[in-house]
Amino acid sequence: MSKQIIIIGGGISGLALLHNLKKKFVGRSDVQVHLLEQNTYAGGTIRTKYQNKCYFEYGPEGFLNNKESALKLAQDLGLEDELVGANPTAKKRYISIKNELHQVPMSPSELLSFKPLSLLDKVRIPLEMLIRKGKDPKETVYEFGVRRFGENITNYFLDPIVKGIYGGDAKKLNLRLAFPKIYELEQEYGSLLKGLILTMLKNSKGKKKGEASGSPMGKLLSFRQGMGQLCEALVKQYEDCIHLDEVVESVDRVGEGFSIVTQKMKYFADELFVCSPAHSASAFLKTLDPVLSELLGKIQYAPMAVVGLVYPKAALGHIPQGFGYLIPSSEKSEVQGVLFPGNVFPGRTADDLFMFRVMIGGSSYPDIMKRTKDELVETAEYELKKRFAINGRTVTEFLALWPNAIPQYDQEYAYLKDGIVYEVSKFPNFHLVANYLGGVSINDCTSNAQAAAEKSALA
């Protein structure tokens, strides 16, 4: 009899895992892999909507090529020619301070002329190399920033990065877990600046064209028709193994394997991979392991509403430049930031249109999901109209609601994670592979999926 592997959840973690397992067991008729997804479409957070000649991203705008795994997945799927790189002018990013947009400095001279920082703040930056490395693995991102660079640099640069990646609060996220690279650079080199410079020099040596970027920042990539194209290609390739509209309700142990009950039927798995978000896994794993279920249920997520507003270019007093802007917590704005997708990737809108992608909410605004669609659009419009001379109405609008957008690697999470890892270790053929373990970026999800496939107990 053939062995059954079941994957629950068809976001990028589950889909990439399916791809890696199919590769691993190619030609093995004794191993069958099936993926169960609750929605009538796969992709999870990754979803692109095409409407009125505009591609709107519900979730991620792109992925970085500073790691290889997502790029490798795209190459495996034959999507190399469909890849698009961010326009070099999109390197310009802005920070909103007291309602004024300031370009994020990209060079020492730009840093010197960055107005919101005092002379003292600027003098302090190179002195970071002289500060002793920290010893507290529980340090928050904010504490780390203030210790090494002072309050203003932390407020204007680190805090917005936390918002941009996690929709989170720098005062709550644990540096070691949320930004392991930064933590490791400080631990290894004694200084973040020293670590960044030396890593960049080391990585740029011997890189060939087309290889993953040597810069720790990397280059942002997407696909001609948006990020959804990646998941569509995966679904097309593995259509026979993907079961949509299958809501998993409970999981139980049966002998050495698992029974999985969905709203429609019952499956059996010799090996089970759970790739759904922590709160949903918590609900259906209650019977299998009540302790694990409780720990998963405690992981906090930031809510996020993403509003897309598209105007005729002719209605704008001036065309905004660059990637977009982020708004630091000190500005007390429920708008986290605004992206200009058409400036980043080609073909996102018709040439005569301009799209704003307004991110509203984050962990500091837990009630954002109580707003109506009209209220959210109004909030987005208010944000744009106070900055850009907009004379005219939108051509089209989009709204994506994510009540549980991104898991928060906060202080409590550190304890939860240890408990979760311990509980999972009780079952040799049971795995959790999702963005609440091992990183939230697409690259993190795809590389964790690759590692999980390698560990498959059915090898």
Chain centroid, CA 356 distance in Å = 19
Nearer Cβ to ligand FAD, position 145 or 361?
A: 361
Residue with tokens 């040597």: 214
20 binds ligand FAD (CB under 6 A): no
CB of 157 to ligand FAD, least distance (A): 18
CB of 129 to ligand FAD, least distance (A): 30
Beta-carbon contacts of 398 under 8 Å, excluding residues fewer than 6 positions away, are 49, 51, 54, 56, 58, 306, 307, 308, 309, 310
The widest CA-to-CA distance across the chain, in whole angstroms, is: 72
Contact criterion met (CB below 8 Å) for 249 and 282: no
Nearer Cβ to ligand FAD, position 31 or 234?
A: 234
CA distance 379 to 300: 25
CA distance 205 to 342: 33
Question: Considering CB under 6 A, how many residues would be counted as binding ligand FAD?
Answer: 37
247 binds ligand FAD (CB under 6 A): yes
Residue 213, phi then psi, degrees to nearest 5: -60, 145
Nearer Cβ to ligand FAD, position 86 or 295?
A: 86
Beta-carbon contacts of 417 under 8 Å, excluding residues fewer than 6 positions away, are 177, 437
Which parts of 94-153 interact with ligand FAD (CB under 6 A)? Answer: none
56 binds ligand FAD (CB under 6 A): no
Nearer Cβ to ligand FAD, position 11 or 226?
A: 11
H-state helical runs in 262-323? 278-284, 290-297
Contact criterion met (CB below 8 Å) for 322 and 408: no
Nearer Cβ to ligand FAD, position 65 or 174?
A: 65
Alpha-carbon distances of 210 from 86, 128, 229, rounded to whole Å: 15, 34, 21
Please identify the residue of the shown chain whose CB is closest to the bound ligand FAD. 11
Spatial strand order of the sheet with 63-64 comes to 63-64, 220-223, 83-85
Contact criterion met (CB below 8 Å) for 99 and 131: no
Per-residue x/- marks for ligand FAD, 250-289, CB under 6 A? -------------------------xxx--x---x-----
Q: What is the DSSP letter of 249?
A: E
Single residue of 4, 20, 45, 333 touching ligand FAD by CB under 6 A? 45
36 binds ligand FAD (CB under 6 A): yes
Nearer Cβ to ligand FAD, position 150 or 228?
A: 228
450 binds ligand FAD (CB under 6 A): no
Q: What is the DSSP letter of 222?
A: E
Which parts of 354-413 interact with ligand FAD (CB under 6 A)? Answer: 402, 405-406
345 binds ligand FAD (CB under 6 A): no
CB of 3 to ligand FAD, least distance (A): 21
Nearest residue to 212 via CA among 68, 5, 15:
68
Span near ligand FAD by CB under 6 A; candidates 178-186, 210-218, 334-342, 435-443: 435-443
CB of 80 to ligand FAD, least distance (A): 19
Beta-carbon contacts of 82 under 8 Å, excluding residues fewer than 6 positions away, are 74, 223, 224, 225, 229
Residue spans of beta strands (DSSP E) within 362-420: 396-407
183 binds ligand FAD (CB under 6 A): no
Span near ligand FAD by CB under 6 A; candidates 39-47, 92-100, 315-323, 421-429: 39-47
Radius of gyration of the chain (CA): 23
Per-residue x/- marks for ligand FAD, 63-102, CB under 6 A? x---------------------------------------
In the complex, which residues of this chain contact ligand FAD (CB under 6 A)?
8-14, 36-39, 44-46, 59-63, 247-248, 275-277, 280, 284, 304, 306, 402, 405-406, 434-435, 440-442, 445
